Amino acid sequence: MPSMRILSWNVNGLRAIYKKGFVDWLIKDRPDVLCLQEIKAAADQMPAELKELPGYLTYFSPGTRKGRDGVALFTRTEPLSLEYSLGFEGLDDEQRAIIADYRDFLLFNVYFPNGKASKERLSYKMRFYELFLDLMERLLAEGRNIVICGDVNTAHKEIDLARPKANEKVSGFLPEERAWIDRLLEHGFLDTFRIFHSEGERYSFWDTKTRARERNVGWRIDYFFVTEGMRDRVKSAFILDDIYGSDHCPVGIEIEIEDETEDEIEDETGIEIAVQN
């Protein structure tokens, strides 16, 4: 089977990371698919170079809150279809997802809400979680292969953050948030990183204000989940913690794909740009 290398990265501002060598990194790494979260830019604010990258189709879904949210997809394989909404009535107004149908599997690129700001935002986060799980239940009933990636904004186990005891009452490590990940796994999803890595001190987010990255006082809150039926097709899962530019680092997987998935675009072809306003 051919393989596909998929990366996910909360860039904490696409325009900011663009100025830090993002394009050079992308050309050098050359993932088949790159999912970005928290792009923090409207369509007319995107650097032109990001819309014309050789070999990639580029899709943006900017957040409706100015300077907040938003997701993007860079792909060398044209999806069968794309959706920019999860269909969550009353909660789907912050442009937090792009869903790409690669025929062989559905890819969910999601920026899950952060609940730290207030009780209201924590409530919003938990409601979002519940609706997302309901959606997964419906798709699982249809027999779909599913890949979920993005910033989940919750560390699952004590091993997934440097200071679990100090954060037991902090959103991002609350019992109810962690229990939601338990439920996702119980529904038949796998935390791909833990298939290959059982060790601690591997994180994907570090607070910049306290220079936590220098001390590796971090959190693993960026994930790839796949349905159980894809277990044997996941060839590797990794955290690229040597890549800088954001308070998060990229995470990724390599998976085997069915042959009927569309061929890669050639670098010489014109690049179709789809922008969600």
- Report, as residue numbers or ranges, the catalytic residues: 151
Question: Which phi and psi (to 5°) does residue 71 adopt?
Answer: -135, 160
Helix crossing, 119-141 with 175-186: angle to 10°? 0
For residues 194 and 172, give the distance between their C-alpha atoms in angstroms, rounded to a whole number: 19
Nearest to 96 by CA among 64, 50, 51, 126: 64
Tell me the two tokens of residue 74: 């860079």
Burial (0-12, 13-18, 19+ Cβ within 10 Å), 276: middle
Instruction: Read off the DSSP letter of residue 211.
Output: T
Residue-by-residue DSSP string for 42-107:
-GGGS-GGGGS-TT-EEEEE--SSTTS--EEEEESB--SEEES----TTT--S--EEEEE-SS-EE
Question: What are the angstrom distances between the C-alpha of 41 and each of 207, 213, 274?
Answer: 22, 25, 15
DSSP H or E run through 9:
strand 3-10
User: Can you give 63-79 as a three-state secondary structure string?
Assistant: CCCCCCCCEEEEECECC
